[in-house]
Structure 1
Amino acid sequence: MNEKVTIGLVQLKCGNDIEANVEYTLEKIKEAAAKGAQIICLQELFNAQYCGQSVDVNLYDTAEPIGSPTLVAMSELAKSLEVVLIVPFYEKAGRGVYFNSAAVYDADGTYLGTTRKNHIPHAPQYEEKYYFTPGNTGYPVYETRYGKIGVGICWDEWFPEVARILALQGAEILFYPSAIGSDYDNPQLSLRPAWEKAISAHGISNGVFIAASNRVGREKDMTFFGGSFVSNPLGDIMQSLDDQEGILIQKVDLKEIDFARNLLQFLRDRRTDTYDLLLQQEAFQINKRY
């Protein structure tokens, strides 16, 4: 079995015209496939400017269901290009019920399922709790033509539990579509180094490849820093993009997972019998010092 897989990450700016954003992205997917990409991941909420900067009831109207024209076009493109597509979008699941989601299409266009974002942030310029219901799909792993993959969406990527669950279910590459940029309370601070370290560290502790895609450009009062990257199972950054639009193409060898896990036997040495506190929301209060 050929265990070499080529990852493609599409890092773009988003304008105000959703239809134009979709058409532009479709062209960039074709470009990534022409460069050899087999699994292509778009950025979080790929077709619109990031909604979380403010509270606006009208933005509910930008959500779309599975089976919308946008997603049908993605399925057809995946089939024609023979690529796996990860398509993060604003999902309308029912009347007044919305999720931050990512649909996954196999290389024959088959719809494999949807991951819904589980961890929903609430902070200045990240007002996501207004727009998204917490995910109810759990942490599915998708067996695609080119390998087993898992998806965590933006805030999910910071939580080590997500990566561990996906790895335990057999995911070999973890994809993290993101929309992260400037911080309202700390405008002088760039979170990019912490973002890159935190996510690539999941690759070390689980012996998997990491592929994180982010958007770029100025949208209202936020600047998105890009920095999309792929890291190997020892946490080395294999390739990254800067703060401009771009397409990252990176070939990975899944056999490196065996080497990393044989070297660092974290999965073997887990002590699940000692982890009860992880399931207690107020576990930190066990220390009464404060």
Structure 2
Amino acid sequence: MNDKITIGLIQIKCGEDITGNVDYTIEKIKEAAQKGAQIICLQELFNAQYFPQTVSVKGYDLAIPTDSSTLQTMASLARHLEVVLIVPFYEKAARGIYFNSAAVFDADGTYLGTTRKNHIPDGPQYHEKYYFVPGNTGYPVYETRYGKIGVGICWDEWFPEVARILALQGAEILFYPSAIGSEPDHPELSTRRAWEKAISAHGISNGVFVAAVNRVGQEKDMTFYGGSFVSNTLGDIIQSLDAQEGILIQEIDKREIDLTRNLLQFLRDRRPDTYKPLLSQEIFQKKEPIVDFTKMTEARV
């Protein structure tokens, strides 16, 4: 397996026509492959506009099963182009059970599995808890023709625990398909810099490459800021896109993982035996010592 591989990230606008979005994405995948991309990642919920802006039972109609014609087409495309494809989609797992998912196809078209989004946000215009069941696939790592990869979907990317688990299982590149943009409660605020810092920092903590891909453009009442990027094992952003459509092509050298991990021995010096508080849902507060004021009074008398 070659240490040097080329990543391709596809950052596009989504229109209201789902078939048109899929066809347009296929064109971009072919273009990325022609430019040398070996592992190509699409944006979160790639084939439709970001429907969780509003709450509507009609949104459930957008979900597709893993054996849908759309994913079959992606498998054929991966085989034809000899690329690894990460395809985020709205998954219908059973009647009334829906996940925010990403299917992974190897360079021969083999379906390697699906990662289901674990952390489901809920807030103004991000009404994801209405549409998605929390993921039940854990944090799988996929051994592809070009390297070992892990996937965290959007809100998952903010949690350092996700990156650490994927790295411990051998992931060399963490892919984060996203749909993030304007904040309706704070229209003056852009989270883009915080987004970049939080995600690229996972590269430092774990000695891995990070590839984050976001959608771009106006969709109803939301504006997505793009900013897709690849960062190295020291957290440096080595290439990024601005707030317009584009294809990011970036070669990386996996030997940098050894260099970084030998320099910053975070994995060696972990203390999982001290991390038990992380396994509780409670928010811990410092416990004040219990003082028996009766005894204090008696002592003074």
> TM bucket by the smaller chain?
over 0.9
Alignment of 1:105-120 (within 5 A): 105-120=105-120
For the Cα contact (< 8 Å) 1:177–1:213, is it kept in 2?
Answer: yes
Give 1:228 deviation, angstroms: 0.1
Tell me the number of residue pairs that the alignment of Structure 1 and Structure 2 aligns. 289
Alignment of 1:102-251 (within 5 A): 102-251=102-251
2:69 matched to which residue of 1?
69
CA RMSD of aligned residues (A): 1.0
1:101 matched to which residue of 2?
101
Q: Does 1:252 align with 2:252?
A: yes
The list of structure 1 runs, each at least 4 consecutive aligned residues, that deviate by more than 6 angstroms after superposition, is: none
Paired with 2:141 and 2:11, the residues of 1 have a C-alpha distance of 23
Paired with 2:224 and 2:246, the residues of 1 have a C-alpha distance of 14
Paired with 1:52 and 1:287, the residues of 2 have a C-alpha distance of 40
Q: Which amino acid aligns with 1:13?
A: K
Paired with 2:284 and 2:136, the residues of 1 have a C-alpha distance of 26
Give 1:287 deviation, angstroms: 4.9
CA 1:287–1:158: 2 relative to 1, 3 Å? farther
Q: Which has the larger radius of gyration?
A: 2
Identity %: 79
For the Cα contact (< 8 Å) 1:277–1:283, is it kept in 2?
Answer: no
Paired with 2:12 and 2:2, the residues of 1 have a C-alpha distance of 31
Aligned to 1:113, the other structure's residue is in SS state strand
Aligned to 1:177, the other structure's residue is in SS state strand
Q: Which amino acid aligns with 2:279?
A: L
Q: Deviations over 1:39-85 (max 9, x none)?
A: 00000000000011110100100100001010000000000000000
Alignment of 1:13-52 (within 5 A): 13-52=13-52
Q: Which amino acid aligns with 2:61?
A: D
Give 1:283 deviation, angstroms: 3.7
Give ranges in structure 2 of 5+ residues lacking alignment: 290-301
Aligned to 1:285, the other structure's residue is in SS state coil
What TM-score comes out, normalization by structure 1 length?
Answer: 0.98
Q: Which amino acid aligns with 2:204?
A: I
CA 1:220–1:143: 2 relative to 1, 3 Å? same
2:279 matched to which residue of 1?
279
Q: Which amino acid aligns with 1:90?
A: Y
Q: Deviations over 1:237-286 (max 9, x none)?
A: 01000000000000000000000000000000001111000001104234
CA 1:288–1:6: 2 relative to 1, 3 Å? farther
Paired with 1:286 and 1:81, the residues of 2 have a C-alpha distance of 56
Q: Which amino acid aligns with 2:258?
A: D
What TM-score comes out, normalization by structure 2 length?
Answer: 0.95
Aligned to 2:284, the other structure's residue is in SS state helix
Aligned to 2:242, the other structure's residue is in SS state coil
Aligned to 1:187, the other structure's residue is in SS state coil
Give ranges in structure 1 of 5+ residues lacking alignment: none
